Structure 1
Amino acid sequence: MRTIVREEVQQAADLHRLRAQLERMQGRRLEAPLLPTPPVLADLLPGGGLRAGAAYALPSSSGLLLSLLARPTRAGSWCAAVGMPDLGAEAAAGYGVVLDRLVLVPEPGPRWVAVAATLAEVMTIVAVRPGARATDAEASRLQARLRDRGAALLVQGGWPQAEAVLEISDPHWSGLGQGHGYLAEREVTVSVRSRRAAAPRRARMLLPDPAGSLTGIGAPVAAPVPLRAVG
C-alpha cells in the first residue's frame, strides 16, 4: 500500500513539473481563466475569449479597444489605457466603459513598458499604444508579469508574443441622408489570426451599433487558406 501511495505522489509531482515546463514553453497558464468578452469577439478569439496572462495585438481602433474594455469594467474589473492621449472619457462611456474603473496614463514617457508592468500588478487589463518598440527582453519580462498577476495586455500595434492578432477591414458607415442626418453606425469586418488556428476567423459586425455597443452580423467564418503553387 505504501508503495502505491509513493507512486501516486511521484506521479502528481511529475505532472506538476510537466505542467510548469509547458507553461514556460507556451508562455501562458494552461488553465488561465477567460475575461468577460463581447460574444461576437469571443467566437473569433482562440479559447473563446480574452485570456488572463495573454497579450493581444490590435489595430489603431479606439472603438474595438473600448468594446474590449467595456464588459470587464462592468463586471467589476479595473482597466488601464497607457499612451493614448486622444482617448476621451466621453467616447469610453459611449461604448459602455465604467469610467470609475478606468485609469488613463496619457504620456508614460520612454519607460512605457515599465509603466505597463506596474499597472499589471493591480489591473485586470492593460491597454497600451507603444511609444517605441519594446526589446525582446522587455517583452518577455512584461509577459511574465502578466502571467504571474493574471492580467491581459491589449497592444495597439505589433507584439512579439501575441496570443492573437485582431484586424479591421471594409468599414462602411450609415446614417447619413441626402445632405442631412448623422453617422449612426459603422459596419466592419474583424479578423483574428492566432498560432492555434490554420486560418484566420472573421465576422462582420457593427462597431458601433446605434446603442454604442458591438453587434455581430451573421456567423463567424474561417477565411480560406490560400493554395500554394506547385512547380
Structure 2
Amino acid sequence: MTAESTLSAEALAADRLQRARAALQGVEVRMGAPSQGWQAPTFPCAENLEAVIPAGLRRGQVVSVTGSTSLMLALVAEASRDGAWTAMIGMPHVGVVAASRRGIELSRLALVPYPGVHAAAAAGACLEGMEVVLLGEGLALSFADRRRLMTRVRERGAVLVVAGPWEGAHTSLTVESHRWLGLGAGDGRLRERQLTVAVGGRAHGNARRVTLTLDEDSGARWVRPGVRQTLGVHQTLGVNQTLGVNQTLDEGVA
C-alpha cells in the first residue's frame, strides 16, 4: 500500500467519524443526552434471557459476549423496542435485515461498520448520544482505550455490549455449544436455536452454565442447495444515514 493510499484511507475514516459525530449531535438536540437525568436503572430483556441477565441490562455496565452475534442482538432488542438509541460499531457482517429480524428498531439504529484506527473515538462519540452501544470483535482498542470507555459508560449511564472477552466486564457470556431446532426431513424452518452459555463476570461471582433458547428468526430457513432468494433493502435511519443492503434470505447471523 502506498503512502498516498494510506493517507486517503485515513482521511475517509476521519470524514466518516466527523459525520457520525454531527449525526449524534442532531440526536442529542432532538432527544437530549442520556446523562441528562436518566431514571430507569436497567433496560428490559426478553423473558427467554432471564437465565443469563435476570435483572435486565443495567445502565453503566459492560457486557461481553463470546461466540454469538445473535445473542448480542437479542440482549439489546427489548431496549431498542422500548425506545433506546443503539449503535453498532465494527460489525460489518451484521446488516439491517439481520438486526431487524432480531428485534432492533432500525429508526433508532446507527451503524459504523468500519471504524479502523478511529474505533475508540467512534465508540466514545456514540456513548455521548446513544444509550446502547455494541462493539465488534478485533477493534483497534488499547487497554487504556477500554478503561476510558468503561468510565464513559458509567458517566453516561449507557450499556456497552462487546464481542469477545473484555477485562473488567460486569457480565461475561460465553457460548460453549449450540444446536438448531426445527428442521424436518430434507427441508424446513430453523425455528429455535438452543445455546449453552457460561455466565461469569464481576457481577456474578462464580461462573455458572445455563441453557437458553433464542426465538424463531423468521428469515432463517434452510433450503436445498442451489435454491436462493435475494432481498434488496434500502433503509433510511433516524440519524440521517442511508444504507443500501443486499442480503440473502438463507444467510443467518451466528
After TM superposition, the score normalised by the length of structure 1 is 0.71
Q: Which residue of 1 aligns with 2:112?
A: 105
Identity of aligned residues (%): 39
Q: Which residue of 1 aligns with 2:156?
A: 149
Matches within 5 A, 1:1-231: 33-45=41-53, 48-132=55-139, 134-209=141-216
Unmatched segments (≥5 aa) in structure 2 = 1-38, 220-254
Whether the 8 Å contact between 2:44 and 2:56 is mirrored in structure 1 is yes
Whether the 8 Å contact between 1:193 and 1:199 is mirrored in structure 2 is yes
Q: In structure 2, the residue corresponding to 1:166 is in which secondary structure?
A: strand
Q: Please give the per-residue CA displacement for 1:113-153, whole angstroms capped at 9, x wherever unaligned.
A: 11101100111111001434532221121111111111111
Q: CA deviation at 1:164?
A: 1.3
Q: Please give the per-residue CA displacement for 1:86-109, whole angstroms capped at 9, x wherever unaligned.
A: 101111111111111111111111
Q: 1:90–1:131: structure 2 CA closer, same or farther, 3 Å change rule?
A: same
CA distance in 2, matches of 1:126, 1:159: 14
Q: CA deviation at 1:211?
A: 6.4
Q: 1:39–1:182: structure 2 CA closer, same or farther, 3 Å change rule?
A: closer
Task: Say which one has the larger Rg.
Answer: 1
After TM superposition, the score normalised by the length of structure 2 is 0.65
Q: 1:55–1:210: structure 2 CA closer, same or farther, 3 Å change rule?
A: closer
Q: 1:54–1:197: structure 2 CA closer, same or farther, 3 Å change rule?
A: closer
Of the structure 1 ranges 87-96 and 201-210, higher mean CA displacement relative to structure 2 is found in 201-210
Q: In structure 2, the residue corresponding to 1:202 is in which secondary structure?
A: strand
Q: CA deviation at 1:197?
A: 3.5
CA distance in 2, matches of 1:164, 1:105: 24
CA distance in 2, matches of 1:204, 1:164: 16
Q: In structure 2, the residue corresponding to 1:190 is in which secondary structure?
A: strand
Q: CA deviation at 1:200?
A: 2.1
Q: CA RMSD in A?
A: 2.2
CA distance in 1, matches of 2:214, 2:204: 25
Q: 1:211–1:132: structure 2 CA closer, same or farther, 3 Å change rule?
A: closer
